[in-house]
Amino acid sequence: MTATDPPRHRTDDLAIRLGGRLVGRGDVLIRGVDTLEFAGDGHLTFVGTKTYAARWPGCRAAAAIVDAALALAAAPPDDRPLIIVDDVDLAMIAALTLFAPTPARPARGVHPRAVVHPDATVPESAAVGPFVTVGAGTVLGADVVLHPGVRVGASVTIGAGSELHANVVVGDRCRLGARVLLHPGACIGADGFGFTASADRRRLVKVPHIGIVEIGDEVEIGAGSCVDRAKFGVTSVGSGTKIDNLVQIAHNCRIGRNGVIAAGTGIGGTTVIGDWARIGGCASIADHLTLGHGVQVAARAGVMRDVPDGRVVSGFPADDAAATLRQWAALRRLPDFLKRVSGRPGPTRSEP
């Protein structure tokens, strides 16, 4: 096998690595993973629901990871090997990790075309790629990886094992924890968006933003996302939080731990979001709000007021999700209702 060949694993080895129980042959070689629809010979796939279990007989995959609660786990329809697990999602993550190709990274050391200030601290285990700049007083932790084109300002701290992909920008004095992953084009520590009218009301005066951004451990921030520096103090993202592409987090926000924020979301300045929040794509959250722990915000919701712990909200302006559904149902009935009260016949809801 050459360095470019994908890894292969026997099904008995996979069962051990995935923490599952093997049903069937242990000598089947697996060379990759794919969905039920597209898996073929040599592929491993995943069966986590009754719907997928019904599709298994028609799938061409060589083997499957199967939820132990499904009938398929107890009565396989054919002799293809099954790996029975308690949590298909976690087993899938482990399998994808096993078969993932080795990512391209710059070599350890400082590339000749990088510009690193003499006062910066760069350990031997760090990898600094071409066209990277690192400012004065910046400290990189062990095994930090800076891909081509990364710009790190002065007096920045980047924790051990963090990886910054191409063209990421980290502004002066910002702090990143350990094992932070920033995808291409993410910007940490740009000025917040603040202006006020001049005394003569003829122009806008920029409000200086002299604070910093602090990112916790194991935070992931997607491509093109921005976390603005604070006006004063800190804009913070708690450890374990995952942020999708094209998300805007404004100055002085405080985002809790282990949150998930989907693409296109905008969060206004000084808003506080608790731990384990789930925010859907393209949500808009106004400034100076507090969203509690465990809050869920539906996609495209517009949050205009505080949300208590554990609440699920949707719609614009966002309200309790169940109430929003009732409002939508009432709106669908409104045209028929208006025709009835006016005494004029009209098309029913089923008509165009």
Residues 341-348, mean pLDDT to the nearest whole number: 67
Beta-carbon contacts of 324 under 8 Å, excluding residues fewer than 6 positions away, are: 313, 314, 315, 318
pLDDT of residue 330: 87
Strand-strand pairing, 312-314 and 151-152: unpaired
Q: How confident is the model at residue 2 (pLDDT cuts 50, 70, 90)?
A: very low
Give 69-72 contacts, CB < 8 A, sequence gap 24+: 72/47
Q: What mean pLDDT do residues 241-255 have?
A: 99
**Can you give the pLDDT at residue 5?**
65
Please state which CATH number belongs to domain 9-99. 3.40.1390.10
Q: Residue 80 has what DSSP assignment? A: S
- List, in sequence order, every residue forming a beta bridge with 9; answer none if it has no partner: 30
Average pLDDT over residues 197-213: 98
**d(Cα 69, Cα 91) in Å, to the nearest integer?**
15
Q: Are strands 63-67 and 82-85 parallel, antiparallel or unpaired?
A: parallel
Tracing tokens 């760090």 back to the chain, one arrives at: 126
Q: Is the pLDDT of residue 233 over 50?
A: yes
Q: Is the pLDDT of residue 3 over 70?
A: no
What's the rounded Cα separation, in Å, for the pair 79 and 81?
6
Active site residues: 251
Q: Which residues contact 60 (CB under 8 A, 6 or more apart)?
A: 39, 40, 41, 43
Q: How far apart are CA 206 and CA 192, in angstroms?
A: 10
> What pLDDT does residue 92 have?
96
Reported as a pLDDT band with limits 50, 70 and 90, residue 275 is: very high
348 band by pLDDT with thresholds 50, 70 and 90? low
Q: How far is CA 86 from CA 70, 73, 82, 90, in A?
A: 10, 11, 13, 9
- Pairing mode, strands 157-158 and 169-170: unpaired
Question: Residue 53 above 80 pLDDT?
Answer: yes
Q: Contact 30/11 with Cβ under 8 angstroms?
A: yes
pLDDT of residue 322: 86
Q: How far apart are the first and last CA of the chain?
A: 62
Give yes or no for residue 267 having a pLDDT over 50: yes
Rounded to whole angstroms, the Cα distance separating 279 from 313 reads 10
Residue spans per domain, the chain: 9-99
Question: Band of the pLDDT at 346, cuts 50, 70, 90?
Answer: low
Residue 329 has pLDDT above 50, yes or no: yes
At residue 118's C-alpha, the angle toward residues 113 and 122, to 5°, is 75
